[in-house]
Amino acid sequence: MAGQNCGVTTALLGVLLLGAVRLPRGAEASEIALPHGSGITVFIKPGTPPLPVKPCYIISSKRYKTSLTIKPGEKEVFSFSCHNPENHFVVEIQKNIDCMSGPCPFGEVQLQPSTSALPTLNRTFIWDVKAHKSIGLELQFAIPRLRQIGPGESCPDGVTHSISGRIDATAVKIGTFCSNGTVSRIKMQEGVKMALHLPWFHNRNVSGFSIANRSSIKRLCIIESVFEGEGSATLMSANYPDGFPEDELMTWQFVIPAHLRASVSFLHFNVSNCEKKEERVEYYIPGSTTNPEVFRLEDKQPGNMAGNFNLSLQGCDQDAQNPGILRLQFQVLVQHPQNESNKIYLVDLSNEQAMSLTIEPRPIKLSRKFVPGCFVCLESRTCSTNLTLTSGSKHKISFLCDNLTRLWMNAEKTISCTDHRYCHRRSHSLQVPGDILQLPVQLHDFSWKLLVPKDRLSLALVPTQKLQQHTQEKACNTSFSYLVASAVPGQDFYFGFFCPGGSIEQIQVKQNISVTLRTFAPSFRQEATRQGLTVSFIPFFKEEGVFTVTPDTKNKVYLRSPNWDRGLPSLTSVSWNISVPSNQVACLTFLKERTGVVCQTGRAFMIIQEQRSKVEEIFSLEDEVLPKPSFHHHSFWVNISNCSPVSGKQLDLFFWVLLTPRTMDLTVIIIVVVGGGALLLFALGLIICFVKKKKKKKNKGPPVGIYNGNINTQMPMQPKKCQKGRKDSDSHVYAVIDDTMVYGHLLQDSNGSFLQPEVDTYRPFQGPTGDCPPSPPPICSRAPTAKLTTDEPSPGFPAESETKLYTFSHPNNGSTDIPLLDTHEPEEPGE
């Protein structure tokens, strides 16, 4: 009796323990029973990822299996040997529907077996419907409808719909779709295969679609996309990204509310090699008198369409040897019409030549939220995100855009001269045409390319208003500026940015340039009257550029050399012609002590020359410190000539000019007063002497002739103006010193022979306007031993009276062989 009680107690304890300990999820038994004639087959098989290190098995009928198949009329009870079977297995439920041998089960499609009866695995329900070619099948999707995704994309909730069609025995992929889209119906014929993939954690228990019977559609498929408000849809051709079936037809039907507008843009496409027919897209557009409207895939697609429309893709008979592929990905954008969409703008470029205007989106950061499109429409129908208009025609355009500030315009015009005899002294106005300024889009750039025959003509730019050069010290504050840069191929060289309201009256350049008007604010329309340049073709000169400057009497004029941030190019010469009014004095100040240039070959010079007296100062920009502030009473030149600099040691020059009223110097006033007083005293002395001599003559008797042998009887001669000999005078100091006396020692090598000079270090200006800029002393190869006689001046030297204005200062030893440059050679980089 005691043993029996012990057995009962053990059994009760076991039951309590089983109730207290919960079995693992995988160990829970599942039961699937499929009725006869259901056409449903259930496959439990390993998932696509490789099996983990620790295997998991299906336990069915006390046997361990790696897969399990349950057919109609069968019942299976099974479990898993692991606690996370969703990481190891998937379940696929396939239902075959034969509409060829009997009636189709039209209506809402049910999930069979229900998700509650299935194990917690990733599930895929597949419906394979077979039908005659003459029968059309329609898949209808409940709200929230479907959204097509491309290769590599996934759905946020993990629920995907894969839809395929059939051409004879070949399966054709229509596309993969997520929820929350615009696709409401898909029509096909000759059968359809629909796959619904549900992740293991999703508790969905309805299919979300129904099947309906339709007549033959006579094409591969028709996809209906319904818009209820603003939005966009991206759609793809069948088999995308693989090729569209040969000689097939596919159609998209778009349902658009009447108060909205739709535009089509092709994102990606390829065309195949056709033997017969031609690949194309056809539109059936409400209100069009030419339906269907046919476009090539390369054409701009229609936009600004009101109401429903259809789009069809037609393939061709492909080349059997090299078929290629036809594929298309496009976007339909639906949005509210804007006020500008109903307004037509006429852009008349019929009188323009070699000009183009492009309207395009500004570069912006992309947003994940829906952003209404911004389109430019030609003739209100052909719309695209960018549009290029060419000269010689009139264009009618409109805009389909919620915010026109998202667009801007860029224009380019070429003015060229091919015959220098015809172009000489001709001029052209550089102004933005009024038809462009009237458009409701901001102008970003308008660029003029000015081309001249090489070494035949040069260019002169004269602004409507004097220009200011943009610098950090004095920046342009206007709504636009001009960028003047070289247009010579392979030459990265610019003269600078300039804006109205300065002191630069003219810019002369040697060869081809581009002048770009760039705007910075919408207020340019109000300041458009200030824009305007005139370009003239002038005789060729060798200097890279000449700036004519008339400083303002109230402000400093800041000027800097071209290519400021990269340095003046090698062997380049630039000049500034600075005008000084007669009642003003100009103060010239350099902002740095040195230019920073280090020459690899040649020399870099700067010359400051008074235009009236021709007095000039020459500075070596490599060796010498830039001059301190200097005052100029007359107009003067500033010229720089570059060498071939070492990389990173470029020539940059930055200076300013300030005008002040001219005042009489105190020393001059004292000299004038003293000189006037002395002259007055001298005149009084002469008068007194004359009066005394006249009185003496009256008191003397008649003269008596007495011979004096010590008196010189010769007629007195005119005394010489200069009593000093040449040795005692300063006439041997010359304004121009023989170049070899100054530079000759730089030309001798170690053997005493003279080296050939550097050539083309300086290129003097040879333009036609005004006086020529100064030229630095050329380095020539004459021997320095030739001397001048002391009796007569050498031809080519100024007269002695002129020499005093040009006298150079010398040391006390009287030597004139003073080098202006250091005698050591420039070091090579790396030494």
Mean pLDDT of 392-417: 91
Percent of the chain past pLDDT 70, that is, above it, reads 77
The total of other beta-carbon atoms located within 10 Å of residue 509's CB is 26
pLDDT for res 665: 54
Give the chain's domain count.
1
pLDDT for res 539: 92
383 in Cβ contact with 334 (< 8 Å): no
Q: Is residue 634 part of a domain?
A: yes
The yes-or-no verdict on residue 56 having pLDDT over 70 is yes
Mean pLDDT of 273-300: 87
Q: Is residue 19 part of a domain?
A: no
The yes-or-no verdict on residue 352 having pLDDT over 70 is yes
Q: Is residue 615 part of a domain?
A: yes
Mean pLDDT of 538-561: 93
In the predicted model, what is the mean pLDDT of the chain? 80
Residue 678 belongs to what H/E stretch? Answer: helix 666-699
Q: CA 666 from chain center: how many Å?
A: 59
Q: Is residue 806 part of a domain?
A: no
The yes-or-no verdict on residue 641 having pLDDT over 90 is yes
Higher pLDDT, 477 or 829: 477
* Overall pTM surpassing 0.75 (yes/no): no
Alpha carbon distance 233, 223 (integer Å):
12
- Domain of 579, CATH number, reads 2.60.120.290
Least confident of 43-52, 386-395, 532-541: 43-52
pLDDT for res 618: 93
The yes-or-no verdict on residue 242 having pLDDT over 90 is yes
- At 174-211, the pLDDT tens digits run 999 999 999 999 999 888 999 999 999 888 888 999 99
Identify the domain containing residue 589 by its residue range: 542-664
Q: Is residue 596 part of a domain?
A: yes
- At 264-273, the pLDDT tens digits run 999 999 999 9
Alpha carbon distance 589, 662 (integer Å):
18
171 in Cβ contact with 116 (< 8 Å): no
pLDDT for res 398: 87
Q: 618 exposed, middle or buried (CB, 10 Å; 0-12, 13-18, 19+)?
A: middle
762 in Cβ contact with 641 (< 8 Å): yes
pLDDT for res 49: 66
Q: Is residue 575 part of a domain?
A: yes
The yes-or-no verdict on residue 547 having pLDDT over 80 is yes
Burial profile 400-423: b = 16 or more Cβ within 10 angstroms, e = fewer: bbbeeebbbbbbbbbbebeeeeeb
Higher pLDDT, 491 or 504: 504
Higher pLDDT, 318 or 374: 318
Higher pLDDT, 374 or 146: 146
Taking alpha carbons only, the member of 161, 224, 159 closest to residue 193 is: 161
Q: Is residue 648 part of a domain?
A: yes
pLDDT for res 38: 86
- Please give the radius of gyration of the chain, using alpha carbons only, rounded to the nearest integer: 48
Alpha carbon distance 749, 567 (integer Å):
32
Least confident of 107-111, 484-488, 521-525, 584-588: 521-525
Higher pLDDT, 212 or 763: 212
Q: Which two tokens stand for residue 148?
A: 């097509």
- At 789-828, the pLDDT tens digits run 333 333 333 333 333 333 333 333 333 333 333 333 333 3
- At 705-764, the pLDDT tens digits run 333 444 343 444 444 433 444 444 444 444 444 444 444 444 444 444 444 444 444 444
Alpha carbon distance 490, 588 (integer Å):
35
357 in Cβ contact with 436 (< 8 Å): yes
Gap between the terminal Cα atoms of the chain: 114
Q: Is residue 546 part of a domain?
A: yes
pLDDT for res 375: 84
